[in-house]
Structure 1
Amino acid sequence: MNSIIWPEKYTPGTTDNFVSNEVIVANLSAREVWTYLVDTRWWPGYYENVSDIHFYDATGPKLAANSRFRFTTFRFPVEAQVVEFIPPAEGQPARLAWRGWVEGDEDKALDALHAWLIEELPGARVRILTQESQTGKPAQQLAATTPNPMLNAHQAWLDGLAKTALAQKGLPGIKKRGGGLQSR
């Protein structure tokens, strides 16, 4: 399986907070998942921890290479810019990453890289991986909280994304089985 390509500044284990979440889902393709990830109009419908999405350039509401946007998550007003945008292609996973930051003094400033990887697996399955690496006092506070709210929220984001893609494909639903999403 493929992995996230990290800029040195965000290397997991060297930052203040890092979380990793993934699901493997049957009966979906990487292209089907990609559609609902890059179109931010869908986000509030399947991820309750996001609001106030606004684009500074003409790319919105769909993410694209270098898109500059902002959104609110965990009550943080996050400024963001897409730094990696590789749609799915035959034999190549889809990759999406944005740098996000919260401006402020030493107690409020946050810097993060949120990356996604979507890859086809044998047996008509797709793997959706999301990881985020953060620095700053807010990141330290998130990491010190048990359970880590970012870990739980990102799992909800993944599950919502997969459920939405399955529902739009006309599949009747999904259920959790063995820690992953399975189509019914």
Structure 2
Amino acid sequence: MMNSIVWPEGYLPGETDNFCSNEVIVKGLSAAEVWPYLVNADVWPSYYANSSDVKLSEGAEQLQAEMVFFFKTFGFPVDAQVVELVAPQAGEPARIAWHGWAGDVGTAERLDVHHAWLIEDLDGGRVRILTQETQNGQPAKELAQAKPNPMINGHQDWLDGLVTAVRQAKTSA
């Protein structure tokens, strides 16, 4: 049985203004090989063109539990806080999730998201990478109506870039 995302109160899919889910299962990679490309947020722009201006807490080299950080994506300046961080270990999936927000509370521009990743090793030398995001706020309602869906397409680009970056690093090692 495959694992699933852990949702905080107020962010359960189907109960929010927008939800997207993207997943890949690939052979020849492991959760341990994928993990550094997610927790080292500074490298996101190198394989995901829709992210930029990543700023971690001073002195930090990678995302850590409870850390507040900043990045730009989908045209939004996003402040975020890591709310779940579980490195890969034998028999258990790796998990990272953050609550992100943009805009002032109480305004039509306010957007709140829960973006979660689950990376798990499967039998046969395969790895599953699942990313899901729920969103609340007027911008989320607008994104939910957009065709083609920019969140689905953007997160697929993130997954595809992630897999490509890990494979390239592995073959050049």
Please indicate the TM-score interval, normalised by the length of the shorter structure. Answer: over 0.9
> 2:69 matched to which residue of 1?
69
Is residue 19–residue 150 contact of structure 1 (8 Å, CA) maintained in 2? yes
The answer for the alignment partner of 1:158 in structure 2 is: 159
Deviation at 1:40, TM superposition (A): 1.4
What does 1:3-152 align with in structure 2 at a 5 Å threshold? Answer: 3-59=4-60, 61-104=61-104, 105-152=106-153
CA-to-aligned-CA distance 1:50-102 (integer Å, 9 cap, x gap): 1111123433x311111110111111110000000000000000000000001
TM-score when scaled to structure 2?
A: 0.95
Which stretches in structure 1 are left out of the alignment for 5+ residues?
A: 172-184
Across the aligned residues of Structure 1 and Structure 2, the Cα RMSD in angstroms comes to 1.1
How many aligned residue pairs are there?
170
AA at the equivalent of 1:119: E
Local SS of the residue matching 2:35? helix
> What do residues 94-133 of structure 1 show as CA deviations (whole Å, max 9, x unaligned)?
0000000012252210001000000000000000000000
The worse-fitting range, judged by mean Cα deviation, of 8-17 and 61-70 is 61-70
Distance 1:65 1:161 in 2: 21
Counterpart CA distance in 2 for 1:167 and 1:41 is 18
**Residue 147 of structure 1: how far off its partner (Å):** 1.1
Cα distance per residue 1:15-37 (max 9 Å; x no partner): 00000000001100100000111
Using structure 1 for the length normalisation, give the TM-score: 0.89
How far apart, in 2, do the equivalents of 1:167 and 1:98 lie?
A: 27
Deviations along 1:121-148, whole A, 9 cap, x unmatched? 0000000000000000000110010111
Distance in 2, matches of 1:155 and 1:28, equals 18
Whether the 8 Å contact between 2:111 and 2:138 is mirrored in structure 1 is yes
- Matched residue of 1:10: which SS? coil
User: Could you tell me how far apart the structure 2 residues matched to 1:91 and 1:57 are?
Assistant: 33
- Whether the 8 Å contact between 1:49 and 1:153 is mirrored in structure 2 is yes
Q: SS state of the match for residue 41, structure 1? A: helix
Stretches of structure 2 that go unaligned for 5 or more consecutive residues are none
What percentage of residue pairs aligned between the two structures are identical? Answer: 56
Query: Which segments of structure 1 move beyond 3 Å, counting only runs of 4 or more?
Result: none
Q: Which whole-Å CA distance do the structure 2 matches of 1:106 and 1:140 have between them?
A: 14
CA distance in 1, matches of 2:68, 2:171: 33
Separation in 1, partners of 2:160, 2:82: 22
